[in-house]
Amino acid sequence: MRSVSEFSAEIAALYDRVQAGPLNPVWISLVPKDVALERAREVENHPEWPLAGKTFAVKDNFDVAGMTTTAGCPAYCYRAEKTASVIRRLQEAGALLIGKTNMDQFATGLVGTRTPYGACASVFDSRYISGGSSSGSAVAVAKKLVDFSLGTDTAGSGRVPAAFNGLIGLKPTRGLLSAHGVVPACRSLDCVSIFARNCAEAHEVWSVARGSDPADPFSREPRAGEGAAPWLCSDFRFGVPSREQLEFFGDHEAEQLYWAAIENLHAAGGEKIEIDFTPFRRCAELLYGGAWVAERLVAIKDFFNDHAGEMDPVVRGIIGGAAKQSAVDAYEGEYRLRELCIEAEKQWREADVLILPTTGTIYTHEQIAADPVKLNTNLGYYTNFVNLMDLAAVAVPAGFRSNGLPFGISFIGPAFSDEGLLAVAHRYLGGTAPLVEKCPGCVEVAVVGAHLSGELLNSQLTERGARLQKTCRTATDYRLYALAGSVPPKPGLIRDRNFRGPGIEVEVWAMPEDRFGGFVAAIPPPLGIGTVTLDNGDAVKCFQCEPDALSGAKEITHFGGWRAYMASIEIFNLGD
């Protein structure tokens, strides 16, 4: 980690490095060096800021006060009066903006070649594309010009460039990061995305950047339990399409790397579930084959009407196709999307996350020039459906082909699963320290008797989506009793601070917090939910007993737990 006290010297050296070569194709404009150095000196005085000492870049469809915004089209250029909300959040946390990066014009493309500022290339081989539309943002991070960057993602623009440059590409839940001050592609679908070199840094930036914004009508925050990832601290189920539904466009090495990644996921605690990819694929076809392309025209309608001839011809053709769409088409597309989401729900009932190739292959600049639309469509095979279905995704590296080109996979989950996806991706990539200490959006519940795994009431946990985290013991000052007359048989747990015993065996489960209230409401007296201290000092919710219920109860503390006690009864009965 860099020393914040040396930050201004590092910024000066960075500008010397960047300005020693041509600005394009990575950059479209830079923050003036003197402004950046002044900011760096301010950061040096505040090492406590969460992102102090971090540098970043933004795609040139983000507004920065005093700088021009081009959206990849010089004729569209204007000078911004205000800075985009998400950039302000990062700056207030101490991050230093270096400049604005190249992009596929009007964020229309997954290739990184639809720009008059020069096509970016993969950092691993200049003959191959960088991916787009957030091309410059990805390359700036991959070349270590900045620590992280912001892009946007409608169809995969925050994920494809990550795959082609060996990066983490976080596509958050729609609306979780404010898009106020960002030139939209499809406003109802757009996401601000994050490029970083590891999951920990992506998580750090996401934690700062997220938050509701009254200036963005699409901004939103999760309700209780919406971001729950109870599977994170246990074995997780990951969905994989059947081999017949996978497409690698003749790239056999990419296929081999994908199945190798699936094997590695088993080692990371995953259980493979085969899913039907059909509803996801059909949904992906709606993005450019349906009325959503009309949103791209809405974003720049006045400019398009007056300056279409000054646009990239491929982008002009795609956006101009919106003229063929009607309001009837829009409603029919929305109805079809709802149907496909319902079909996809069947798959989500089986899998916690989907694991897909980020792209099936990679193309050279020459190949893209020869067939720009079809090959771009191929790159969206595994990405185009994600925002339409209101999902979150994290693209991560997953090995290299024999020619040195990278391959990547994506972890995809329901809306607000961002943190859980980052954490499980971190585990897959070999992260030793957990990215998050507890399962996001969950309440930890310790159970001691009839709710244990395999016992009669365990379904009250599993039907609410709870997952077993661990088996452990309470602190030593707890006593356990077999309650008289309870059906089914149940124990009562009592704390006695003057007692020292073996500790009582418990299971700790993670339950989505929106399911916890119903679970508690179903508990009959004399039991209730309190807080128990575990043998490692952690405090979690747990079944506890009303003291007056101990009349007639049998103390079974010496057994160390309910299972051992019940086993002793079975042995006694067999002896009879």
Structure confidence at residue 501 as a pLDDT band (50, 70, 90):
very high
pLDDT band at 296 (very low <50, low <70, confident <90, very high): very high
Per-residue pLDDT at 453: 96
Across the chain, what does the average pLDDT equal? Answer: 95
User: What pLDDT digit, counting tens, does each position of 304-327 carry?
Assistant: 999 999 999 999 999 999 988 999
Same domain, residue pair 389 and 417: yes
Residues 173-199: what's their mean pLDDT?
A: 97
| Active-site pick, 8, 85, 135, 157 | 157
Least confidently predicted of 321-325, 422-426, 438-442: 321-325
CA angle 389, 257, 102 (to 5 degrees): 60
Told to judge if 374 belongs to the known catalytic residues of this protein, a careful annotator would answer no
Domain contains 207: yes
The CATH number covering residue 134 comes to 3.90.1300.10
pLDDT of residue 1: 47
CA gap 328, 325 in Å, rounded: 8
Does residue 556 share a domain with residue 414? no
> What is the pLDDT averaged over residues 165-170?
98
Q: Note the pLDDT of residue 4.
A: 83
Helix (H, G, I), strand (E, B) or coil at 527: strand
**458 and 424 both lie in a single domain:** no
Same domain, 422 and 488: no
Q: Which domain holds residue 188?
A: 4-428
Residues 358, 483, single domain; the answer is: no
In a domain, 434, yes or no: no
Q: Are residues 418 and 525 in the same domain?
A: no
Select from 501, 504, 502 the least CA-distant residue to 492: 504
From 133, 134, 219, 417, the catalytic residue: 133
Do 261 and 166 lie in one domain? The reply is yes
Spatial contact of 163 and 122, defined as CB atoms under 8 Å apart: no
Q: Of 352, 348, 388, which is closest to residue 270 (Cα–Cα)? A: 352
Distances (CA, A) of 102 to 7, 59, 115, 150, 212: 26, 6, 8, 12, 28
Residue with structure tokens 């859980």?
420
Domain co-membership, 233 together with 330: yes
Known active-site residue 242: no
User: Does residue 456 share a domain with residue 410?
Assistant: no
Q: Please write the tens of the pLDDT for every residue from 63-90.
A: 999 999 999 999 999 999 999 999 999 9
Do the Cβ atoms of 95 and 55 come closer than 8 Å?
Answer: yes
Whether residue 66 is contained in a domain is answered as yes
In this structure, the strands spanning 121-122 and 27-30 are unpaired
Pairing of β 236-241 and β 191-196: unpaired
Residue 558's CATH number: 3.10.490.10
Q: Is pLDDT at 570 greater than 70 in this prediction?
A: no
213 within some domain: yes
Q: Does the residue 435 lie in any domain?
A: no
Based on the fold, state whether residues 492 and 399 are members of the same structural domain.
no
132 and 241 belong to one structural domain: yes
Question: Considering the domain boundaries, does residue 560 fall inside one?
Answer: yes
Last residue of a domain, one of 374, 401, 428: 428
Q: How confident is the model at residue 212 (pLDDT cuts 50, 70, 90)?
A: very high
Instruction: Report how far residue 198's alpha carbon sits from residue 426's, in angstroms, rounded to the nearest whole number.
Output: 8
Whether the bond between 22 and the residue before it is cis, its omega within 30 degrees of 0, is no
Catalytic status, residue 157:
yes
Q: Which residue has the tokens 């990644």?
A: 261
Last residue of a domain, one of 428, 454, 479: 428
- How many domains does the structure of the chain reveal? 2
Are residues 133 and 96 part of one domain? yes
Separation of alpha carbons 19 and 37, rounded Å:
15
Domain boundary among 428, 450, 485: 428
The answer as to whether 37 is a domain residue is: yes
How do residues 19-45 score in pLDDT, each as one tens digit?
Answer: 999 999 999 999 999 999 999 999 999
In a domain, 436, yes or no: no
